[in-house]
Amino acid sequence: MNRKYEMVVILDSQLNSEEQEKLTSKIKKFISDIEGKVENIKEWGKKDLTYPIKKRSSGVYYIYNLSVNSEKINSLKQRLQNEDNILRFLMVVTDKGGK
């Protein structure tokens, strides 16, 4: 069953804009590989982190609104965790239906 999610991704702030674009495209591909659909991506920009993550004090924030089969979401999480330039991500279900 497809569910709607909101996902915040924090990228390494030392990436240049071209590398950020490549990584955001890679994340979209991860989502399409599990038959998900990206509905919207919004860049929040570079922000200071409350505490260092992977020895970085700032990160570039992106917000993804997506629709993915809930049974395949763990595959997406695993792929995101394996990306060195993703400092942190958080995924929240935004629809009310489902299990």
CA distances from 96 to 21, 39, 79 (A): 32, 18, 26
> Phi and psi dihedrals of 36, rounded to 5?
-95, 170
Separation of alpha carbons 28 and 38, rounded Å? 7
Residue 14, domain member (yes or no): yes
Residue type at 21 in one-letter notation: E
Task: Answer whether residue 99 is part of any domain.
Answer: no
Q: Total structural domains in the chain?
A: 1
- Distance between CA atoms of residues 68 and 43, nearest Å: 21
Q: Which residues in 1-99 belong to E strands, given as ranges?
A: 2-12, 37-53, 56-69, 86-93
CATH code of 47's domain = 3.30.70.60
**pLDDT, tens digit (0-9, with 9 covering 90-100), for 1-30:** 889 999 999 999 999 999 999 999 999 999
Q: Considering the domain boundaries, does residue 89 fall inside one?
A: yes
* pLDDT for the residue numbered 98: 53
Residue 38 located in a structural domain: yes
pLDDT digits (tens, 9 = 90+) for 49-68: 999 999 999 999 999 999 99
State pLDDT tens for residues 31-54. Answer: 999 999 999 999 999 999 999 999
| Residue 31 belongs to domain spanning | 2-93
Task: Give CA torsion, residues 51, 82, 79, 48, to 10 deg.
Answer: 20
In the prediction, which pLDDT does 70 show? 87
In a domain, 84, yes or no: yes
User: Is residue 26 situated within a structural domain?
Assistant: yes
Look at residue 98 and tell me if it is in a domain: no
Please report whether residue 74 resides in a domain.
yes
